[in-house]
Amino acid sequence: MAFTAPAALRAMTLIAAFLTAPAVFAHAHLKHQYPAADAQVTAAPQALTLNFSEGIEPKFSGVTITGPQQQQIKTGAVKRNEQDKTQMIVPLEQPLPPGDYAIDWHVVSVDGHKTHGAYRFSVK
């Protein structure tokens, strides 16, 4: 059975797609966080904890927290849990008063890929 030029081109395209597909999944995706997305917590957290699908580089990662009156909340330096390189810890410099909070995050994974996202939670 001989391959025709169009069939060979389709086969090569399919092989190339399979070989490059793993690179698409090499980004650090947010798996879970504390406080959780859309949660209503009764006690203000002392830090935010974000867990990703792969290790992150804390020097190139960060979080912006916007409070109830659209004011930016001060945070300490982003840290990575040294026992879990997929976990980013963001200390809060002061207790959060009751209200709604928007979290905008960005990370660079250990393989150099950048990702970002956002979620919300509220303090009662």
| CB-side neighbour CA atoms (13 Å) of 108 | 8
The arithmetic mean of pLDDT across residues 49-78, rounded, is 97
* pTM of the predicted protein model: 0.78
Tokens of 93: 């410099």
Domains and CATH numbers, the chain: 27-123 (2.60.40.1220)
Over residues 37-46, the pLDDT tens digits come to 999 999 999 9
Residue 11 pLDDT > 90: no
Q: What is the pLDDT of residues 78-112, one digit of tens each?
A: 999 999 999 999 999 999 999 999 999 999 999 99
